[in-house]
């Protein structure tokens, strides 16, 4: 089993509800964001546009955080979810240096690192992750990569760090671009 986030950038409108739903679920520290909505470079798809990708942890197949951690504070579950165990963390921040996606964040209050755990506790109860359930556009989904046939899934969008480093499981649906008519008053 290989649980993965599908980021549907064709549906995402960059409203940040997913980020806030996550923060709301876990009552995170004010400055900590486990999920972030990124605006994609505006000229990436031919014509200028505002498109977005919402990223949390990519629950990589070869997690750099897990390998770098000296305290063995990371494990990867059977279903693929990469979990950070707070009790073992010594706050050395190696995982933060090693992660190509800047996922782990340092919690100044408890002096340990933390990150998205794909709401493993909720999923174990049969519920969806807070971000997936909270997105008003239904632009996030959890799939099992071993068992899915979403035809238009891609493993990266332009600007996403080299996937060969850690083999992230996050998949993307590319934005759709419509026809644009700009006034004949600009160059």
Q: Which is nearer to other proteins, 149 or 183 (CB)?
A: 183
- Span 1-30, contacts to other proteins by CB under 8 A: 11, 13-17, 19-21, 23-25, 27, 30
154 binds other proteins per the rule CB under 8 A:
no
Q: Which is nearer to other proteins, 99 or 153 (CB)?
A: 99
CA 105 to CA 35: how far, in whole Å? 11
Among 110, 127, 146, 152, which residue sits at the site for other proteins (rule: CB under 8 A)?
Answer: 110
98 SS3 class: helix
Neighbours of 69 (CB within 10 A): 23
126 binds other proteins per the rule CB under 8 A:
no
What is the rounded radius of gyration, in angstroms, for the C-alpha atoms of the chain? 17
Give the phi and the psi of residue 32 in degrees, each rounded to 5: -90, 130
Among 61, 68, 76, 123, which residue sits at the site for other proteins (rule: CB under 8 A)?
Answer: 68
- Tokens representing 111 are 């002096």
CA 35 to CA 147: how far, in whole Å? 25
Q: Which is nearer to other proteins, 86 or 146 (CB)?
A: 86
Contact criterion met (CB below 8 Å) for 95 and 68:
yes
Among 59, 101, 169, 171, which residue sits at the site for other proteins (rule: CB under 8 A)?
Answer: 101
Q: Total residues contacting other proteins (rule CB under 8 A)?
A: 85
């Amino acid at each position: 089993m290989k649980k993965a986030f599908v980021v549907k950038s064709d549906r995402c409108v960059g409203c940040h509800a997913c980020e806030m739903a996550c923060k709301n679920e876990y009552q995170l520290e004010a400055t900590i964001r486990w999920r972030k909505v990124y605006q994609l470079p505006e000229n990436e798809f031919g014509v200028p546009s505002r498109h977005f990708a919402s990223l949390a942890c990519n629950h990589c197949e070869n997690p750099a955080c897990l390998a770098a951690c000296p305290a063995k504070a990371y494990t990867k579950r059977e279903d693929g979810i990469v979990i950070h165990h707070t009790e073992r963390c010594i706050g050395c921040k190696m995982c933060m240096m090693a992660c190509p996606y800047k996922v782990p964040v340092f919690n100044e209050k408890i002096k340990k690192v933390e990150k998205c755990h794909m709401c493993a506790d909720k999923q174990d109860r049969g519920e969806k992750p807070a971000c997936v359930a909270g997105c008003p556009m239904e632009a996030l989904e959890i799939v099992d990569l071993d068992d899915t046939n979403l035809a238009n899934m891609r493993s990266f969008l332009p600007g996403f760090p080299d996937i060969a480093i850690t083999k992230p499981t996050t998949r993307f649906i590319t934005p759709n671009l419509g026809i644009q008519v700009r006034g004949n008053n600009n160059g």
